[in-house]
Amino acid sequence: MEYNTTRNHLTMREYGRHVQRMIEHVQTIEDPDRRQANAYAVIELMGFLNPHLKNVEDFRHKLWDHLFLIADFNLDVKSPYPIPTRETLKARPEPLPYPKRHPKFYHLGINLEGIINKALVEENPEKRLGFANAIAYYMKLAYNNWHKEIVHDDAIQSELSGITQGQLTFTNTPYVKAYRMQPEGRDNRGNYGKRNNGGGGGKFQQRGGGNGPRRDNRGGSGGGGNFKKKRY
C-alpha cells in the first residue's frame, strides 16, 4: 500500500496526481516527436479536467504554463507560447501605490470636485449652465440625504459661489423630495399594526349579512329582544 507521505510533492492539486505522473512519464521519453505528441495529449486532458479555464482569457497559454510548472521547468518540448521560467511564474507583483487624493470639499466628494473643475474650463455657455444646474441639484440632494431637511436655494447658490469664486450660477430650481420620517409601528403596507375588524368587506363579518329576521340559539324567531350577537 502506498501512502501520500511516501509520495513526491503534488505541485498542483487542481489536476491531481495522475496528471502529474503522466507529465513525469513524458519527461522520461527519449524520442522528441513522441514526447511532443504526449505533451499535447496531456494539455488536452488538463483542459478537459478544468473546463472553467475556458472562460479565462488565453486559457491554453495558462495550461502550457501549468505543464512546465508541474514538470519543475525540466521538460524539453516545443511550446506555442513563450516558455516560462521559475523566476517569471513565482515572481511577486509590484505593490500598487495607494491613491493620495486630498479633496478640497470633503462633504461633496472628489467626483463632484472633478465636475466643478470641468465646468470652470467649459467655454460653451449652454454646457456651462447645464453643469451648474446639475451640480446644484447634486448639492441639494446630498444635503437632504445627510441632514434630513430641505435647504433653501440661496444657501446652495452661496456655497457654490464660494467654491467657484462666483464663476458658476444655476438658473433652475433643483427639486428634491423632502425627507419624511417613517412612523413607528407602521408596516410596509401602510397599516399601523392593527387589524381592521369592522366595516364592510372585512374578513370578520356577521353571519347572514343582517338582512331579515334572525334566529337565536334557543329556536326563537323574529327580531325580538332575545336576539344575541356572537362576538368574535
Burial annotation 139-155 (CB, 10 A radius, 16+ → b, else e): bbebbbeeeeeebeeee
pTM above 0.75, yes or no: no
Contact 207, 231 (CB under 8 A): no
d(CA 107, CA 178): 20
Give the per-residue SS3 of 119-174: HHCCCCHHHHHHHHHHHHHHHHHHHHHHHCCCCCHHHHHHHHHHHHCCCCCCCCCC
- Tens digit of each residue's pLDDT, the chain (232 residues): 777 778 888 888 888 889 999 999 999 999 999 999 999 999 999 988 888 777 777 888 889 999 999 998 999 999 999 988 888 877 788 888 877 766 677 777 778 888 888 888 888 888 888 888 888 888 888 888 777 777 778 888 888 888 888 888 887 665 555 545 555 555 555 444 444 444 444 444 445 444 555 555 554 444 445 555 566 5
Helices (H) and strands (E) in the chain, counts: 7, 0
**Grid coordinates of 183:** 412612523
Domain boundaries, given as residue ranges, for the chain: 7-89, 110-164
Given this model, what pLDDT does residue 27 score? 92
Within 10 A of 198 (CB to CB), how many other CB atoms are there? 7
Task: Give the span between the Cα atoms of 104 and 109, in whole angstroms.
Answer: 9
